[in-house]
Structure 1
Amino acid sequence: MELNRNQYFFAGILLVLIGVQMRMVSSFVLTPEVTQMLAKPTAVAQGDSPPTLAIAGGGVLAPGAKKTVRPPEWLGWCLMSVGSVLILHSLAMKKPD
């Protein structure tokens, strides 16, 4: 499948908006359900029992624990840059028939 001008433009806009959001928000707090869902693959690999699950980079989590994700500062700039290049690329392409 070949991407056309409109799809490049949409992907660029989407990446720019996600990049702006990453720059404006300092951290995301996950719900306990999502935290447990992310912890299950590492718990199986480490052989832990389900009540005490471990996340890579963290310790052992209680059943109601919430994980905080802090994206690096460069991630927002990177997403905005790639999105801007995609938008400019879409404007340089010919219009779809």
Structure 2
Amino acid sequence: MEFNRNQYFMAGVLILLLGIQFRAVDTFVLNERSTQFLAQRVNAWRQPQMASAGSLPTMVAASGPIANHRMKPPKWLGWALVSVGSVLILHSLSLKKPGG
């Protein structure tokens, strides 16, 4: 499937706004549920599970509450997304209009 002008423009706007969001926010604080999900995935990636899959919820529940995770995106990520979004918007303006 080939992208047309409108799809390039919309992708550019979304990526540009995401880049502005990363520039405006210093730190993202995850809630308890997403922190537990992230901790499970990181622990599974670091060490292979030796226990059965049925005992995993009991192991997580026995470990106690986990502090909310803070994510600080690098400064270059916001600038990179802003620039890619801007290029996509400018590229969409150079394409011909769909159906015309």
TM over 0.5: yes
Unaligned regions of 5+ residues in structure 1, if any? 53-61
Could you tell me how far 1:68 is from its partner in structure 2? 0.2
Aligned length: 88
What do residues 41-65 of structure 1 show as CA deviations (whole Å, max 9, x unaligned)? 232342494244xxxxxxxxx5242
Consecutive aligned runs of 4 or more in structure 1 exceeding 6 Å deviation: none
Which residue in 1 is equivalent to 2:53?
none
The structure with the largest alpha-carbon Rg is 2
Match of 2:85 in 1: 83
> Relative to total residues, which structure has the larger helix share, 1 or 2?
2
Percent of residue pairs bearing the same amino acid type: 53
TM-score, structure 2 length as denominator?
Answer: 0.80
Unaligned runs of 5+ in 2: 50-55
Write the letter of the residue equivalent to 2:68.
K
TM-score (norm 1): 0.82
* Greater RCO (CA < 8 Å, at least 6 residues apart): 2
CA distance in 1, matches of 2:78, 2:42: 28
Q: Considering fraction of residues, name the structure with more strand.
A: 1
